[in-house]
Amino acid sequence: MDMQTTIIKELHGLAASPVPPPEAALDWTVPQHWERFTGADHAVWDLLFARQETLLQGRAVSAFHDCLDVLSLSRPGVPDFAELNAALIARTGWKVVAVPGLIPDDIFYAHLAKRQFPAGNFIRSADELDYLEEPDVFHDVFGHVPLLADPAFADFMETLGHIGLAALARGDLARVAHLYWRTVEFGLAREDGELRIFGAGILSSFGETRFALESDEPQRIDFDLEAAMTKPYRSDRFQDRYFVLDRFADVLTLADRKRWGD
């Protein structure tokens, strides 16, 4: 089996220092400095984009394909966030902000609550196309941003930000983090009678795209909120179980803030 394309830490901020690095602002954002990406960096993005766009035909939820054009910018390669944000803000009010790497939980959920998605300001090398220790700009932008251009999913993500902050204040983040993992990162849904991908950890992974839908190894379980929030998961390999929503639109019912005491 191929190595996991994107090994995402248990939480986006789990391994992050509570103090931002010198080049970062207090909210951990940094200037993208798009001009510093090299020709090799842009070539890696284009290769990853082309192969995933092809592979995901008939495998991703239709909303992902409908919104993928938000990444069809005026020049190839790693997206310039200024140009990307002009398109994304016009659609749903979301924008992408550059961060140096993993960020603390409170900072991560605060960004989501403000409709800002933090994206790693680096890209994997050509000899590491299918293995990463932490999410890079391809995972964060290709995997997450298209669905942030879908109004319903954009609302879901903002609500998760508020729920996450409230759970942090209660000392109860683990359940929200599990929900995020089982939906935003590794969620599946039924569409027109077929299984489809909406989780960014799968959408950005060449190996897990096929594994999640076609392998006999993992369990594919009808979505149950309590189980999704409590069942253990793996952050160092392909998942051994995926939770399946009856419809992609059902993700909205999972972020009822009254249910979460927010």
Helix (H) or strand (E) holding 194, with range, is: strand 194-197
Q: What is the DSSP string of 83-141?
A: HHHHHHHHHHS-EEEEESS---HHHHHHHHHTTEEEEES----GGGTT--SS--HIIII
Residue 162 among the catalytic residues:
no
CA 162 – CA 113 distance, rounded (Å): 5
Give φ, ψ of 190 to 5 degrees: -90, 140
Query: Residue 25 half-sphere exposure, CB side, CA atoms within 13 Å?
Result: 10
Of the residues 185, 191, 205, 208, which is catalytic?
Answer: 185
Q: Which helix (H) or strand (E) holds 232?
A: none
Q: Are 202 and 208 spatial neighbours (Cβ–Cβ below 8 Å)?
A: yes
Catalytic residue from among 111, 144, 162, 178: 144
C-alpha 131/C-alpha 218 separation (Å) is: 20
Residue type, 106: D
42 is catalytic: no
Annotated catalytic residue, options 111, 158, 204, 205: 204
Partnered with residue 96 across adjacent β-strands are 117
Q: Is residue 33 annotated as part of the catalytic site, yes or no?
A: no
In the set 139, 158, 162, 208, the catalytic residue is 139
Residue 204 annotated in active site: yes
Which residues are part of the catalytic machinery?
139, 144, 185, 204
